Structure 1
Amino acid sequence: MSGTAKTGPGEADDESDRYRPGYEVVAEQLLGYIAEQNLMPGDRLPTEQGLAQILGATRNVTREAVKVLAAIGRLSVRKGAGIFVAASPGALADDQLAHFQPTSMEHVLMLLDFRRLIEAETARRAATLATPIEVRAMRESAELSLAAGRAVDAVEFARVDALFHECIGIAAHNLFLRSGVANIRRLLSQSDVLLFHGDVPGSLEVAANQHIAITAAIAAGDPESAAAMMTTHIDTTQHQFERRIRDRVFSLTNRPTAAAPSTQPASQETSAS
């Protein structure tokens, strides 16, 4: 995917936008447009050509932006029918999460704060309610995440990382906590795709070792330690995220202005959340 967006309504005038892939800038603008127009799940958007005109972008770059937003579940493209705002993770038509901005630092930090509250409590409940079978499943997923981390296998790590957090949700024996954890992670994955092209900031092995420690606390039936370790796990994710953002902004704003804008993702460190 390539091309840079033209200046248009809603586009940030940050100099660093010159070096971001065009589809990424337009995807951000398009989400802003949806929020500004107060569009809700199921609402129809203008055509690609119409969106291109509204956002001041080329049709090709707009098409790529629509594709990536459809891939992360924010848009629904129906052949012969048009482009629609997709159902929000909560599947509620008036759900404000439909306007979550995955490239907004403010929104991401609020989401991480919410994740800290929800997952710490989920770990605390799991430490008092987990069955031996649930603890075994949790331990197996944690050990698999450590093996994937040591092998620097990001794809496998992502799979078992999701499994690990799901195991804790199951062990908490609360449908709503389990669903909340899944929805938070789904929203954060949108930021990973748009900001880091699927590469979550952080070290795989550090995250995996934290999985092991959380599992040990839950297995020992220590709710306060389990909650504290989960909080530390998410604090680590937030610090790594903020550092990665700073590194990215620094690298973008310090490129020579005469250089041709890059339209490909920069080389990425292996990461986890």
Structure 2
Amino acid sequence: MPGTANAESGGSDDASDRYRPGYELVAERLLNYIAEQNLLPGDRLPTEQGLAEILGATRNVTREAVKVLAAIGRLSVRKGAGIFVSASPGALADDQLAHFQPTSMEHLLMLLDYRRLIESETARRAATLATPIEVRAMRESAEASLEAGKAGDAEAFARADALFHDSVSVAAHNVFLRSSVANIRRLISQSDVLLFHGDVPGSLEVAGTQHLGILEAIAGGEVDAAAELMTAHIDTTQHQFERKIRDRLFNLARRTDAQSSTASQQQAPETSAS
């Protein structure tokens, strides 16, 4: 991946942006460009060189940004045809989710608020409608998530976490709720990639323990408790995201201050010994 944005993508008005990867800043600009131009799934984008000129970046950094956005499903690169805005699975062509900004705190908080509403309802319905087989699937994935969390295995946890939330939505017996849960998780994963670069925003063991609590409430038919525990689980996720972002911004600010201090010392005139 390329170096800092300042070195590779023309700099930024925000000094702390100099320490964000160049491809990340350009990916953010590209998503903003798609939204500003009101481009929809299936629309063709300019060439890499054209995008580089539009975004004020080098072609190499633009190529990396396109690769990242293609990897998270926001762009489609077709050999010999060009770069296209990807269709959102299960979404209409004019769906506003096509303009979701993964690095926007405002969008992320709105998404988590929506997730809170949708998944608390899936848990509530699952507590009423889940079959024994569905409860068993939830239990297996919840236990697997806790085991992976204790082991610090982020990849295994991610698989178990996805299975758990999907199994709860299956037990709600509503295809639209299940589709909503899947779309929410897809969008949150985009923020994970662009904001945290594969790092985890919080304690996996805590999340696994919460999964088990939700499972037990659903298995016991405790409708209100299931919904409340799912809401608390998503609240925890939001707090972890916010803390991780604050920590990241704090570290960026410290690095910026340190560089400014070093530059000042280097520019100070030397004094002769008396």
TM-score (norm 1): 0.92
Residues 24 and 259 (structure 1 numbering): CA distance in 2 closer, same or farther, change over 3 Å? farther
RMSD: 1.4
Amino acid at match of 1:41: P
Say whether residues 1:45 and 2:45 are aligned partners.
yes
Query: Which residue in the other structure is 1:253 paired with?
Result: 253
C-alpha contact (below 8 Å) 2:154/2:200 kept by paired residues: no
Cα distance in 2 for partners of 1:14, 1:134 equals 50
Match of 1:6 among 1, 5, 9: 9
The code of the aligned residue for 1:27 comes to: A
User: Match of 1:257, SS?
Assistant: helix
Instruction: Report the CA distance between 1:259 and its aligned residue.
Output: 9.8
One-letter identity of the residue aligned with 1:68:
V
Structure 2 residue matching 1:98: 3-state secondary structure:
helix
Could you say which residue in structure 1 is the equivalent of 2:84? 84
Alignment match, 2:271: none
Q: Report the equivalent of 1:145.
A: 145
Distance 1:72 1:137, change over 3 A: same
TM superposition shift of 1:199: 2.4
The residue type equivalent to 2:163 in the other structure is: L
The answer on whether the counterparts of 2:9 and 2:61 sit within 8 Å (CA) in structure 1 is no
- Larger RCO (CA within 8 A; separation ≥ 6): 1
Measure, in 2, the Cα distance between the counterparts of 1:241 and 1:259.
30
Letter in 2 for 1:152: G
**Residue equivalent to 1:136:** 136
Q: Establish whether residue 205 from structure 1 lines up as the match of residue 205 from structure 2.
A: yes
SS at match of 2:77: strand
1:152 and 1:30 mapped to 2: Cα distance? 34
Is the 2:28–2:101 Cα contact (8 Å) retained in structure 1? yes
The residue number in structure 2 matching 1:232 is 232
Tell which structure's C-alpha radius of gyration is larger. 2
Match of 2:182 in 1: 182
CA distance in 2, matches of 1:191, 1:117: 19
| 1:257 aligned partner, one-letter code | Q
Whole-Å separation in 2 of the counterparts to 1:127 and 1:175: 16
Task: Show CA shifts across 1:4-48 (max 9, x none).
Answer: 24348xxx6222110000000000000000001100000000000
TM-score, reference length from structure 2? 0.91
Partner residue in 1 for 2:272: none
Q: For residue 170 of structure 1, report the CA deviation from its aligned partner.
A: 0.7
Name the SS of the counterpart of 1:39 in structure 2.
coil
| Alpha-carbon shift at residue 88 of structure 1 (Å) | 1.8
Q: 3-state SS of the aligned residue for 2:259?
A: coil
Unaligned runs of 5+ in 2: 263-274
TM alignment of 1:37-76, pairs within 5 A: 37-76=37-76
Q: Give CA-to-partner distance per residue, 1:106-141, whole Å, 9 cap, x none.
A: 000000000000000000000000001110110111
1-structure distance, mates of 2:212, 2:167: 13
Query: Does structure 1 retain, via aligned residues, the 8 Å contact 2:9–2:26?
Result: no
Cα pair 1:189 1:198 within 8 Å, conserved: no
The answer to whether the Cα contact below 8 Å between 1:124 and 1:227 also exists between their aligned partners in 2 is yes
1:96 aligns with: 96
Q: Match for 1:234: what amino acid?
A: I
The one-letter code sitting in structure 1 at the alignment partner of 2:111 is L
Question: Match of 1:207, SS?
Answer: helix
Give aligned pairs, total. Answer: 257
Cα distance in 2 between the residues matched to 1:184 and 1:233: 15
Identity of aligned residues (%): 79
Partner of 2:119: 119
**Mapped contact 1:214–1:226 kept (Cα < 8 A):** yes
